[in-house]
A = this chain, B = another copy of it.
Amino acid sequence: MSRLPEYLRALHALAETGHETVSSEGLASAVGVNSAKLRKDLSHLGSYGTRGVGYDVALLIDQIESVLGLTQCRAVALVGVGNLGHALAGYDGFASRGFRIAALLDADPSRVGERINGLVVRHVDELSRVVAEETISIGVIATPAPAAQAVADELVAVGVTSILNFAPCVLSVPEGVDVRKVDLAIELQILSFHEHRKASLTALPATGGSALTALPGGLATTDTQEAIGT
């Protein structure tokens, strides 16, 4: 389930504020989901709640981390240390979430050798050597779109089976390889769509505007978080 990481984040926050147990209601409202859904999700990984009491925060964290395979730190290789790659390499928030940036790779010779956050940028040709040194389990692509497919192919070739892609393009990968993409422009466009719909609804409350703006309520934009709390 893709919601498990969100539960995990909320649980860590609760643990830090001293809570030892949470009710499904409490955790659900912290994450912004229905409490029944949360209970059903949690029940899929076994029964770790106590009726009448709730869930043991620490125990649940362990359980979720175990299911997510975060029991030990996972090493990720970052390919493309440009604008965005620099930000990612300099980000210290991954460590606490179970990840360690183990290698920085770039094709630009003038970038190779640069030191960022204690890591030296290496040439992308060294990829196979890097993978041999470290047990890389995830590759992150932060190169321009035209180079992304080639980089993905290289990652797959050296045995990486999970890729996070920031380039705005679709990657072709063999079966068994997982790709997730983050495209900020798409996020903005989805917001733009809602903005557009809100605007035309207030402008023409009765008649309705174009075909789509007249559609019922909230359509289906994945992962939105609309109107939580006050």
**A contact set with B: CB distance below 8 Å:** 1-2, 4-6, 8-10, 13, 30-32, 44-46, 66-70, 74, 76, 83-84, 86-88, 90-91, 93-94, 97-99, 137-138, 161-164, 168-199, 210-213, 215, 219-230
Contacts and interface: CB of A to CB of B under 8 A. Distances in A.
B2 A192 contact: no
Nearest to A190: B2
Nearest to A220: B1
B162 A223 contact: no
B98 A195 contact: no
Contacts of A224: 178-180
A2 B194 CA distance: 10
Contacts of A91: 83-84, 184
Contacts of A169: 9, 13
A210 B10 contact: no
A10 to B, nearest CB: 7
A87 B178 CA distance: 26
A190 B195 contact: no
B198 A5 contact: no
Most buried by B among A86, A93, A183, A213: A93
24 contacts: A1-B219, A4-B193, A9-B185, A45-B212, A66-B210, A67-B213, A68-B193, A70-B189, A84-B91, A93-B168, A94-B188, A97-B185, A99-B185, A138-B191, A161-B195, A162-B195, A164-B188, A172-B229, A177-B226, A178-B191, A179-B228, A180-B187, A180-B225, A222-B222
Most buried by B among A13, A172, A220, A225: A225
A170 B3 CA distance: 13
